[in-house]
């Protein structure tokens, strides 16, 4: 089951909190937004809580389109060469997968340009199965439920008749604007098209507004699409749970108990990730603290925020190392008495994320300093100071290195170059 919300939001920044609340509380999986009024430097244009956002901006900060996919849906953008407000993407973990496009055509677009761009888009998507086109085309057509039909609407109707696409609109008006003398002007510029014959879609223009936009939000629903989920059974956890079941002669009760234990030992894993047996609530809290400290440093890069992040990060790494070691010791203790070699090696394979030696190597301490120096001493011959010459200096400077020579070399350095690990610049030395 997949729920899509199509909405001409008329400024994402001004209606961000409303769309986040509505989409998350009503369980929408995909958002198709038009007229985002967004631009590259806008923080509000790049993030939506609970969604991964793809967007296309317009240089004048008007128009703009976006596609937002819920955290449980993986998708990739599809490259489509056009100067119009069009963005396309394809899902990766739906059955079946769909291609979705979000379009906005400004009202001042000429009919000639409209025809060229619409024909180009239909030709581009004609060979793509299970495609759904959503957007505000500013084309008034009878087939969309409008009371009049303009030249753009006539071309849209003719293009639909010549293609495999069909409208999902049920005749409802999607735009209502209050004009003078208490009158209203209503039309149906928002269109939803699909070329799929195997997916059943329902389309409904919602009466209740989400934000101050004059467009109605459109709910698109399909019961024939399934979001693929990855599951994993913790075999050691299941074995312990099954051993705790008391003997009984009630076969039905025993079956029900076994099914319950299997369900308790089954984990749902998002695509691209794996279950970490060492993860716990304390680690989650420390991770949030570390992330907050990093964000504070990025917003205000001063010494205090840097030290706060360093302390939080160090504490996080120490606790992670201890948690991994504890989890490994527990699993090793259980495997030590395991007689089934198949279960033994499968458990080892499932614990592939644990790399104790690599984790220890990433945590550098003071004892490693001397070991590293000893390694360097044994690996390289000590140079003779009396025969030292530098290949980095020109022949005129390959002499005794005096303060005057140092001053000359320093003078030739770029003053605006970035500092090294010691944070000392050439300008400071000069």
**pLDDT 10s digits, 173-216:** 888 876 656 677 888 888 999 988 888 889 998 888 888 888 99
The residues, any chain, with a CB within 8 Å of residue 413's CB and separated by 6 or more, are 426
Instruction: Tell me how far apart the alpha carbons of residues 93 and 96 are, in angstroms, rounded to a whole number.
Output: 8
Q: Does the pLDDT value for residue 97 go beyond 80?
A: yes
Is the separation of the CB atoms in 218 and 5 below 8 Å? yes
Task: Give the 3-state secondary structure of residue 423.
Answer: coil
Instruction: Tell me how far apart the alpha carbons of residues 219 and 31 are, in angstroms, rounded to a whole number.
Output: 10
- In this prediction, residues 62-77 reach a mean pLDDT of 87
**Residue 138 region by backbone torsions, left for phi larger than 0, else alpha for psi between -120 and 50, else beta:** left
Instruction: Tell me how far apart the alpha carbons of residues 234 and 266 are, in angstroms, rounded to a whole number.
Output: 6
What predicted TM-score, i.e. pTM, was given to this entire model?
Answer: 0.55
DSSP classification of residue 303:
H
Task: Give the 3-state secondary structure of residue 258.
Answer: helix
Total residue length of the chain:
430
Proportion of the chain above pLDDT 90, given as a percent: 13
- In this prediction, residues 222-238 reach a mean pLDDT of 73
Q: Is the peptide bond before 327 cis (omega within 30 degrees of 0)?
A: no
The model's pLDDT over 101-126, given as tens digits with 9 standing for 90+, comes to 999 998 888 999 999 999 999 989 88
Q: What dihedral angle (degrees, nearest 10) is formed by the CA atoms of 98, 104, 105, 107?
A: 150
Domains of the chain by range and CATH? 2-227 (3.60.10.10), 230-274 (no CATH), 276-380 (no CATH), 383-429 (no CATH)
Q: To the nearest 5 percent, what fractions of the chain are helix, strand and coil? A: 40, 20, 40
Q: Does the pLDDT value for residue 391 go beyond 60?
A: no
Is the separation of the CB atoms in 257 and 245 below 8 Å? yes
């Amino acid at each position: 089951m997949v729920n899509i919300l199509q909405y001409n939001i008329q400024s994402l920044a001004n209606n961000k909190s409303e769309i986040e609340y509505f989409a998350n509380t009503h369980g929408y999986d995909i958002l198709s937004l038009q007229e985002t009024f967004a631009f590259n430097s806008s923080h509000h244009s790049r993030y939506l809580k609970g969604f991964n956002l793809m967007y296309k901006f317009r240089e004048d900060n008007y128009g703009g389109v976006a596609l937002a996919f819920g955290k449980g849906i993986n998708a990739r953008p599809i490259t489509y060469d056009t100067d119009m407000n069009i963005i396309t993407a394809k899902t990766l973990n739906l059955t079946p997968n769909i291609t979705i496009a979000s379009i906005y055509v400004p009202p001042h677009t000429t009919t000639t340009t409209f025809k060229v761009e619409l024909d180009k888009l239909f030709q581009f998507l004609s060979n793509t199965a299970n495609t759904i086109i959503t957007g505000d085309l500013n084309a008034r057509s009878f087939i969309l439920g409008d009371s009049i039909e303009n030249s753009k609407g006539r071309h849209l109707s003719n293009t639909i008749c010549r293609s495999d696409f069909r409208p999902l609109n049920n005749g409802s008006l999607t735009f209502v604007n209050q004009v003078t003398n208490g009158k209203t002007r209503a039309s149906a510029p928002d269109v939803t098209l699909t070329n799929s014959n195997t997916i059943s879609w329902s389309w409904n223009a919602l009466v209740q507004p989400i934000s101050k936009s004059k467009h109605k939000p459109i709910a698109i629903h399909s019961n024939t699409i399934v979001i693929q989920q990855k599951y994993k059974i913790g075999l050691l956890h299941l074995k312990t749970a099954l051993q705790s079941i008391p003997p009984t002669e009630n076969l039905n009760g025993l079956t029900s108990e076994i099914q319950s234990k299997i369900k308790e030992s089954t984990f749902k894993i998002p695509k691209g990730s794996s279950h970490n047996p060492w993860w716990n609530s304390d680690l989650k809290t420390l991770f949030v603290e570390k992330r907050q400290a990093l964000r504070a440093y990025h917003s205000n890069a001063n010494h205090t925020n840097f030290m706060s992040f360093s302390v939080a990060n160090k504490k996080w790494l120490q606790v992670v190392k201890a948690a991994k070691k504890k989890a490994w010791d527990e699993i090793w203790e259980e495997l030590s008495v395991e007689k089934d070699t198949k279960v033994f090696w499968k458990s080892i394979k499932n614990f592939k994320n644990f790399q104790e030696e690599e984790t220890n190597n990433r945590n550098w301490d003071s004892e490693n300093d001397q070991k590293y120096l000893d390694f360097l001493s044994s690996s390289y011959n000590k140079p003779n100071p009396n025969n030292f010459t530098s290949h980095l200096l020109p022949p005129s400077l390959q002499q005794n290195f005096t303060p005057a020579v140092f001053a000359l070399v320093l003078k030739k350095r770029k003053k605006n170059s970035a500092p090294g690990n010691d944070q000392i610049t050439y300008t400071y030395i000069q």
